[in-house]
Structure 1
């Protein structure tokens, strides 16, 4: 067994969480962080390094467990978040939700609407509703990767144990 702590950028908080975990489990702790890597324009297929958001005025929409972390990611990249639409985790978007989210793009207040990969899956079925009025660059998906920064070897060994085929000793 292992424990994986994600979004573990803060050294002090990570140390505190590790101490707390040690009271309940002796399993090794793997430390991972989320890193924005690119912005993808799903209507055009264009992709830019995440730093491309620097200085851009954006609106953002998400329905994830920790919407504040999405907002912090955008701010850390230098984006100016002019409107932020946070919905409950796994929200099913309605036309009115997206009309409201795209309004800052249509009015020119924001250069684009940025969302998460998880949210794009739920927004994409509405593309006919907004694609013509915002252009191919009017929506961007912030792509994020998880990087293991501590005990990666333990993580990959655990994955290998689970993923390796079991051989029956008959």
Structure 2
């Protein structure tokens, strides 16, 4: 883990000169983000239309909010509606740059090193979906629709990628972290301030089971106020434990009672520690690297030696990390890969309604409808209803402006 990430997530405090330098850089970043947002908000920079409904799944903070399981859950819901889904990703951490087709919906065409670990994982978990990567996602959208027959697009990590117009903006907030120290890059992990949630249509709370009831209630209410409707609330559910090649299932209880070495390259490994504890595993040693770390055979060999020397009879890692395991090591008999899904515990009906509206199955939702829903939900939770209806969000105003311009 880097020293900067330790500052972001409250594991360390910066020295005074470092704090001053970070604050100055944050000011520059904030001004640039505000200018860019203002240009899009005023319609001076136009977003491209895709030719098919676009559902964006993004977040405010960099790394580790639970966005990939949320994107997977959204894509699965679209597929169940009979849609040919395409996932459009930046493909962060990949060896290759530029536009690339990870899956055409029938075949997995690239490995994780060329696709990026998250797009590769999404392609494996959704074998019927098209997955494309590249920096210009408007171009990816055109290719997905015109060449590959997609009729529903999931924009992965798309909240700040405003060059492509979206029909539904879902923003994932980690209940256990909530943006770390609250600062913008590089002083903190956030790409935008909390106020940017005003242009989102729906918030998604991930890892809801990792905070107490009072903290979850407060976050739920805050997000409902920001977006105008109650959030989706989800937790991580372990679905299986696999071997390192992801080809053999051992069952979800396979780590119970075992002593394991924790191996991961994640922005916030504490969530994986908690998952292993909930599975009944004892963590005897750890090898923790930065997010998207490209594992080498030498590093894996050292981790296996450490497991043996500390009495561990398993090396436990995540499915995203398994995507980056060298093939010559992935088949090692000690490796165990934990597969998780996002399990929605609240708000599934809100998500389904908004997806149907984005797909054109229902009329577009009005501000009045959104406010009535939020008011009813807030009252049901025992909170006070808003005194007056909120004004339309920037996203809704942008949509009206685009409609009026034809």
Structure 2 length as normaliser, TM-score?
0.36
Residue 151 of structure 1: how far off its partner (Å): 1.2
Counterpart of 1:39 in structure 2 is 241
CA contact (8 A) 2:244 2:330 kept: no
Counterpart of 2:273 in structure 1 is 71
Higher mean C-alpha displacement, 41-50 vs 52-61: 41-50
Q: What is the CA deviation profile of residues 70-120 of structure 1, one whole-angstrom value per residue up to 9, with x for unaligned ones?
A: 011001111011111111111122333212221134447211211111000
Secondary structure of 1:97's match? helix
Compared with structure 1, are the counterparts of its residues 67 and 164 closer, same or farther at alpha carbon in structure 2 (3 Å cutoff)?
A: farther
Residue 35 of structure 1: how far off its partner (Å): 1.0
CA contact (8 A) 1:60 1:101 kept: no
Secondary structure of 2:316's match? strand
2:294 to 89, 92, 97: 92
Counterpart of 1:150 in structure 2 is 346
Counterpart of 1:128 in structure 2 is 328
Compared with structure 1, are the counterparts of its residues 29 and 7 closer, same or farther at alpha carbon in structure 2 (3 Å cutoff)?
A: same
d(CA) in 1 for partners of 2:355, 2:235: 18
CA RMSD of aligned residues (A): 2.4
1:3 paired with 2:203, answer yes
Q: Which has the higher contact order (CA 8 A, sep 6+)?
A: 1
d(CA) in 2 for partners of 1:16, 1:127: 45
> Mind listing any 5+ residue stretches in structure 2 that lack a counterpart?
1-200, 362-406
Compared with structure 1, are the counterparts of its residues 2 and 92 closer, same or farther at alpha carbon in structure 2 (3 Å cutoff)?
A: same
Compared with structure 1, are the counterparts of its residues 130 and 145 closer, same or farther at alpha carbon in structure 2 (3 Å cutoff)?
A: closer
CA contact (8 A) 2:287 2:303 kept: yes
Structure 1 length as normaliser, TM-score?
0.81
Compared with structure 1, are the counterparts of its residues 152 and 120 closer, same or farther at alpha carbon in structure 2 (3 Å cutoff)?
A: same
CA contact (8 A) 2:284 2:310 kept: no
d(CA) in 1 for partners of 2:207, 2:283: 21
Residue correspondences, number: 160
Counterpart of 2:160 in structure 1 is none
Residue 61 of structure 1: how far off its partner (Å): 0.8
Higher mean C-alpha displacement, 79-88 vs 91-100: 91-100
Counterpart of 1:116 in structure 2 is 318
CA contact (8 A) 1:67 1:86 kept: yes
Residue 21 of structure 1: how far off its partner (Å): 2.5
Higher mean C-alpha displacement, 138-147 vs 12-21: 12-21
Counterpart of 1:168 in structure 2 is none
d(CA) in 1 for partners of 2:345, 2:253: 21
1:27 to 229, 232, 245: 229
Q: What is the CA deviation profile of residues 22-72 of structure 1, one whole-angstrom value per residue up to 9, with x for unaligned ones?
A: 453323211000011211114483312222211111112111222100011
1:161 paired with 2:357, answer yes
> Mind listing any 5+ residue stretches in structure 1 that lack a counterpart?
166-170
Counterpart of 2:284 in structure 1 is 82
Compared with structure 1, are the counterparts of its residues 23 and 152 closer, same or farther at alpha carbon in structure 2 (3 Å cutoff)?
A: closer
Secondary structure of 2:254's match? helix
